[in-house]
Amino acid sequence: MRCSQSRQPLAAEFSQRDEGLWALERVTVTPEGGVGDGATGFPQITGQFTSAPQYRGCVVCGAMNYVKCGCQRLGCWSGAQPFTCPWCGRSGVVDGTITDLGAIDRA
Protein backbone atom coordinates (compact mmCIF):
# COMPACT_ATOMS: atom_id res chain seq x y z
CA MET A 1 0.00 0.00 0.00
CA ARG A 2 1.00 3.57 -0.53
CA CYS A 3 -0.34 6.81 0.76
CA SER A 4 -2.16 8.50 -2.09
CA GLN A 5 -1.24 11.93 -0.79
CA SER A 6 2.46 11.52 -0.21
CA ARG A 7 3.17 8.32 -2.18
CA GLN A 8 4.90 7.11 0.91
CA PRO A 9 5.24 3.33 1.10
CA LEU A 10 3.06 1.73 3.72
CA ALA A 11 2.68 -1.73 5.11
CA ALA A 12 -0.91 -2.84 5.32
CA GLU A 13 -1.89 -5.48 7.81
CA PHE A 14 -5.01 -7.47 7.16
CA SER A 15 -6.72 -10.08 9.23
CA GLN A 16 -9.28 -12.57 8.11
CA ARG A 17 -12.60 -12.01 9.80
CA ASP A 18 -14.64 -14.59 8.00
CA GLU A 19 -14.22 -16.85 5.07
CA GLY A 20 -13.17 -14.55 2.27
CA LEU A 21 -13.61 -11.40 4.31
CA TRP A 22 -10.48 -9.46 5.03
CA ALA A 23 -10.28 -6.48 7.29
CA LEU A 24 -7.61 -3.84 7.16
CA GLU A 25 -6.28 -3.64 10.67
CA ARG A 26 -3.41 -1.29 10.55
CA VAL A 27 -1.22 0.70 8.24
CA THR A 28 2.32 1.50 9.21
CA VAL A 29 5.15 3.31 7.55
CA THR A 30 7.62 0.84 6.15
CA PRO A 31 11.24 1.12 7.19
CA GLU A 32 13.57 3.12 5.04
CA GLY A 33 14.30 1.24 1.85
CA GLY A 34 11.24 -0.95 2.09
CA VAL A 35 9.55 -1.80 -1.12
CA GLY A 36 6.25 -0.53 0.13
CA ASP A 37 4.20 -3.18 -1.50
CA GLY A 38 3.73 -4.85 1.79
CA ALA A 39 0.46 -6.43 2.64
CA THR A 40 0.70 -9.08 5.26
CA GLY A 41 -1.96 -11.54 6.16
CA PHE A 42 -3.36 -12.47 2.80
CA PRO A 43 -1.54 -14.39 0.14
CA GLN A 44 -3.92 -13.65 -2.67
CA ILE A 45 -6.24 -10.74 -3.16
CA THR A 46 -9.56 -12.49 -3.21
CA GLY A 47 -12.77 -12.05 -1.35
CA GLN A 48 -14.13 -8.99 0.27
CA PHE A 49 -12.23 -6.24 1.92
CA THR A 50 -13.28 -4.00 4.70
CA SER A 51 -11.73 -2.10 7.55
CA ALA A 52 -11.53 -3.38 11.07
CA PRO A 53 -13.51 -1.30 13.57
CA GLN A 54 -10.26 -0.26 15.18
CA TYR A 55 -8.70 0.86 11.94
CA ARG A 56 -7.38 4.36 12.50
CA GLY A 57 -6.84 5.40 8.94
CA CYS A 58 -3.76 6.05 6.90
CA VAL A 59 -0.83 6.72 9.18
CA VAL A 60 0.32 9.55 6.92
CA CYS A 61 -2.80 11.46 5.90
CA GLY A 62 -5.57 9.92 7.97
CA ALA A 63 -7.65 8.71 5.04
CA MET A 64 -10.10 6.11 6.25
CA ASN A 65 -10.64 4.26 3.00
CA TYR A 66 -8.42 2.49 0.58
CA VAL A 67 -8.63 1.54 -3.01
CA LYS A 68 -7.29 -1.29 -5.04
CA CYS A 69 -6.23 0.06 -8.38
CA GLY A 70 -6.43 -1.77 -11.64
CA CYS A 71 -2.69 -2.24 -11.25
CA GLN A 72 -3.55 -4.53 -8.31
CA ARG A 73 -1.92 -2.32 -5.73
CA LEU A 74 -3.43 -0.51 -2.83
CA GLY A 75 -3.53 3.14 -2.01
CA CYS A 76 -5.17 4.97 0.83
CA TRP A 77 -8.18 6.99 -0.19
CA SER A 78 -9.87 9.90 1.53
CA GLY A 79 -13.05 9.48 -0.46
CA ALA A 80 -12.33 12.38 -2.79
CA GLN A 81 -12.95 11.77 -6.47
CA PRO A 82 -11.18 11.16 -8.68
CA PHE A 83 -8.68 8.87 -7.08
CA THR A 84 -5.13 9.03 -8.35
CA CYS A 85 -3.19 5.84 -7.89
CA PRO A 86 0.05 6.47 -5.97
CA TRP A 87 1.66 3.58 -7.85
CA CYS A 88 0.89 3.92 -11.52
CA GLY A 89 -0.41 7.47 -11.58
CA ARG A 90 -3.69 6.67 -13.28
CA SER A 91 -6.69 8.48 -11.99
CA GLY A 92 -10.34 7.73 -12.20
CA VAL A 93 -13.57 7.66 -10.33
CA VAL A 94 -13.67 4.90 -7.78
CA ASP A 95 -16.43 2.47 -8.54
CA GLY A 96 -17.88 0.33 -5.82
CA THR A 97 -17.66 0.24 -2.10
CA ILE A 98 -14.95 -0.61 0.33
CA THR A 99 -16.18 -4.19 0.42
CA ASP A 100 -15.91 -4.38 -3.32
CA LEU A 101 -12.74 -2.57 -4.14
CA GLY A 102 -13.39 -0.98 -7.45
CA ALA A 103 -10.94 -1.19 -10.24
CA ILE A 104 -10.27 2.16 -11.75
CA ASP A 105 -8.54 0.87 -14.80
CA ARG A 106 -11.14 2.33 -17.07
CA ALA A 107 -9.50 5.69 -16.72
Nearer to Zn ion among residue 9 and residue 22 (C-beta): 9
Least separation, in Å, of the C-beta of 4 and Zn ion?
A: 6
Give the strand pairing for 48-51 and 39-40: unpaired
Nearer to Zn ion among residue 39 and residue 58 (C-beta): 58
Q: Which residues bind Zn ion (CB under 5 A)?
A: 3, 5, 58, 60-61, 63, 69, 71, 76, 85, 87-88
Least separation, in Å, of the C-beta of 69 and Zn ion?
A: 3
Q: Give the residue from 86, 17, 91 showing the smallest Cα distance to 55.
A: 17
HSE of 88, CA atoms in CB hemisphere, 13 A: 15
